[in-house]
Each structure stands twice: as structure tokens, then as C-alpha cells.
Amino acid sequence: MDTEKIYDGEIAPKLLEIAKLCEANGIPFLALVEWSPGNVGRTELRTKNECIEMIMVRHCAKTAPNVDGYILGLAKWANEKGVNMDGSFVMRPFIDDNHRLHSTSE
């Protein structure tokens, strides 16, 4: 069975149709399909006001398997949005006195 062909010819067009419906209604959308081990197709639609869950899942899909890239990228997003990370034991050593992550621009 050629799963890439099935994904490209049958699944991806349906996901695109759903993404367009979401776009017309301002709904964020993300779908990941692993059509064979290690080969992933992604269909996504971003909106300005996505919830943290969508940000986290999208960023995880983008950075996997790099856990450091995931955490630092999420922290950078939190800094940009003014999200307080004081409660994170993972990020605590990297948070300054202003409750912001030390520079993530490098």
C-alpha cells in the first residue's frame, strides 16, 4: 500500500477543504498525519487569537524531537505575549527579576 499516495491524493485534499472552512469562520486548525514512519504531512491555519493549546501543539510539531527548542520557543512566545512563567520549575532558572525569560533572541 502506498500510504504517501493515499495521503497526497485523498487525505490532504480533505484536510485542505476543512482548513478552508475553518478559515472562512476564523477558526484555527492543525492536522498532522504520519503517512509513514517519520514522514508527516501538516495542514494548518493560524489566527491572531489562538489559545495556548494550539500554540503548544503547533510548536511541538515544528520542533520535535528537540525538547530544548520546544521549551525555549514556547518561552519566547510567552515573553512576546507577556505570559508570566513564574510557575514553571523548568523555566525558573532562566527567568529574570522582571518575570521574563533571559534573552531568547540569540
pTM (2 decimals)? Answer: 0.71
- Output the pLDDT for position 89: 82
Q: 62 and 102, same structural domain? A: yes
Specify whether 33 is located in the same domain as 5.
Answer: yes
Same domain, 25 and 74: no
What Rg, from alpha-carbon coordinates, does the chain have?
A: 17
Report pLDDT for 97: 72
Range of 36's domain? 1-49
pLDDT of residue 103: 60
Same domain flag for 44 and 57? no
Enter the C-alpha cell of residue 49: 487569537
Domain count, the chain: 2
26 & 64 share domain: no
In this structure, what C-alpha cell is assigned to residue 72? Answer: 525555549
* Angle value at C-alpha 104, between 102 and 106, nearest 5 degrees: 120
> Looking at the structure, do residues 29 and 43 belong to the same domain, yes or no?
yes
pLDDT one digit per residue (tens) for the chain, 106 residues: 899 999 999 999 999 999 999 999 999 999 999 999 989 999 999 988 888 899 999 999 999 899 989 988 888 888 888 887 778 888 777 777 776 776 645 4
Q: Tell me what pLDDT residue 106 has.
A: 46
In this predicted structure, what is the pLDDT of residue 13?
96
Are 69 and 26 part of one and the same domain? no
